[in-house]
Amino acid sequence: MSDPVKTTPPIALAIAGSEASGGAGAQTDLKTFQQLGVYGCVALTCIVSMDPKKDFDHRVVGIEPQVILDQIEACVGVNPRIDAVKIGMLGSAPTIDAVDEALTTYSFKNIVLDPVLICKGQEFAEAKAVDDALRAKILPRATMTTPNLFESATLAGMDEITTVEQLKDAAKRIHDQGVPNVLAKAGPTLGTGTALDVFYDGTTLEVLETETVGDVRVHGAGCTLAAAVTAELAKGATPLEAAVTAKNVVNASIGMRGNIPFTYVWQGWYEG
């Protein structure tokens, strides 16, 4: 009996930090890709280790920019194609420069930016410089961005976001900076009784809501959402279709409990 023909699945590249607990970062990206039927490869930008002795604060060690470029080169060289790219934590201006160089070199399609702004473990001035570099060099390259409430306000130039209407305005402002598709995330924080995000593509403005699973912070939810969007775009979904599926993936994935003082995610519960 001959072996069945095995087709190559869609392929997604995560350019992101390693988060040692497995609840976020590149580890979560790979799990999400796999759960959605997409082959994942990774270029690590930094190593993040939460410190159990200090309220699980983040210890961050950056990876040399050339090593980041080498990893991306390997991913491109080994795989027949890259169908989508998810960009997560970058963490430093040199890292942003390296990723910017790679995006120029390889002309990837379907770039999803999860804009990690002002990371724990950084001084404000240092973090502000990184945020500005991310906005100037990486944001304009994104096919879609998935900022949380704080990141949406920062990118939109708003003091804060406390209502759904303000979140809609923020999504429009971010789109006006040259990002074709924006998925601005609020989750349960706006008091709607739902997990609420806003999608905007310049024409379509959709408020996406799912049932809430708790009302507090969930570790890795943002990474899961952006990775699910990336996987769905790699499979050929439209940005809005990808956003809807991604919200369902996150909703199904919440519920792991460990020693950190908040729940985290496991993608294995999702059934598409």
The string of pLDDT tens digits covering residues 133-178 is 999 999 999 999 999 999 999 999 999 999 999 999 999 999 999 9
At 53, is the secondary structure helix, strand, or coil?
helix
Q: Is the pLDDT of residue 228 over 60?
A: yes
Q: Cα(30)–Cα(99) distance, rounded to whole angstroms?
A: 19
Structure tokens at 158: 């708003």
Q: Which of 143, 145, 163 is nearest to 155 (CA)?
A: 145
pTM: 0.94
Name the more confident of 125 and 42: 42
**pLDDT at res. 121:** 45
Q: Enumerate residues 6+ apart whose C-beta is below 8 A from 35.
A: 249, 267, 268, 270
User: Between helices 25-35 and 221-234, what is the axis angle to 10°?
Assistant: 40
Angle between helices 65-78 and 93-106 (to 10 degrees): 30
Q: 125 pLDDT exceeds 60? A: no
Contact indicator for 187, 221 with CB cutoff of 8 Å? yes
pLDDT digits 0-9 by tens, 72-98: 999 999 999 999 999 999 989 999 999
d(CA 19, CA 127): 19
Whether domain 11-267 has CATH 3.60.15.10: the reply is no
Give yes or no for a contact between 224 and 148, defined as CB atoms under 8 angstroms apart.
no
* 28 in Cβ contact with 267 (< 8 Å): yes
Question: Rg of the chain's alpha carbons, rounded to an integer?
Answer: 18
pLDDT tier, 126 (very low <50, low <70, confident <90, very high otherwise): low
The closest alpha carbon to 102, from 91, 123, 87, 80, belongs to 87
H/E run at residue 145: strand 144-145
Strands 144-145 and 111-113 turn out to be: parallel
Q: How confident is the model at residue 123 (pLDDT cuts 50, 70, 90)?
A: low
